[in-house]
Amino acid sequence: MPSVQHYGQEYIDGSRARIAARVASYRRLAATAAELGGEAKIAFQTSLLAFEPVFFNDLLLALELHFAHRAPGPRDPYGDPLEEVRLLSEALLTGDGTLRADPGPDRQSSVLGLAAGDRVRLREADFVRLAAAFFTEVERRLR
C-alpha cells in the first residue's frame, strides 16, 4: 500500500474511539476486583497485574496499525510520539520486547522515558499518556 500523507478527521476520530473503547473495556474489567472479596479478589488482582502489560502492549500494536501506512516525515530531534510508537511496536513485533533504539535524544524527550535496552511493558497509565500524545501528533502532522 502506498504511503498516506494525510488522514481525514473522521478516520482519526474513529481510530481514537476504537482505542478508547478498548481502554474502557479494560477499566470495566479492572473494576470487577472491587466487587470481589477475600482470596478471589487477591487472585483476580494478581491475574490482572500480569494481564495489564500484555493487553496494553497489544493495544499499542493496534494503535500503530491504524496509522501504519503513514508517510515518513521529518523526525523531531527532541522526540516524536509517532516514532516512539513505531519503535515500541517494532520491539514487540521483531524481538523480545526490548527497545532497540532511543525514541529521543534522552529519556526526558520521549513520552514514556524509555531508552534503548529497556523492556516494553506498558501499564494503563503509560498507554493512555502515549496514545494521547500520538493522536495529538497525528492531528498536527497528518491531518
* Domain with 58 in it: 9-141
pTM, two decimals, is: 0.91
**3-state secondary structure at position 96:** coil
Q: What is the pLDDT of residues 98-139, one digit of tens each?
A: 998 877 767 777 899 998 999 999 999 999 999 999 999 999
- 83: its cell numbers: 516514532
In a domain, 2, yes or no: no
- pLDDT of the residue at 109: 79
Q: What is the pLDDT of residues 17-64, one digit of tens each?
A: 999 999 999 999 999 888 999 999 999 999 999 999 999 999 999 999
Cα separation values, 141 from 16, 48, 72, 94, Å: 16, 36, 11, 27
Dihedral sign for Cα 79, 85, 86, 89, please. Answer: positive
Distance (Å, rounded) from C-alpha 31 to C-alpha 27?
6
In a domain, 93, yes or no: yes
Share the mean pLDDT of the chain: 91
Number of domains in the chain: 1
Query: Is 78 a residue whose pLDDT tops 60?
Result: no
Q: What is the pLDDT of residues 34-44, one digit of tens each?
A: 899 999 999 99
Quickly count helices (H) and strands (E) in the chain. Answer: 4, 0
In a domain, 4, yes or no: no
- 95: its cell numbers: 524481538
Query: Is 15 a residue whose pLDDT tops 70?
Result: yes
Per DSSP, the residues of 109-137 read GSSS---TT-B----HHHHHHHHHHHHHH
Query: Is 76 a residue whose pLDDT tops 80?
Result: no
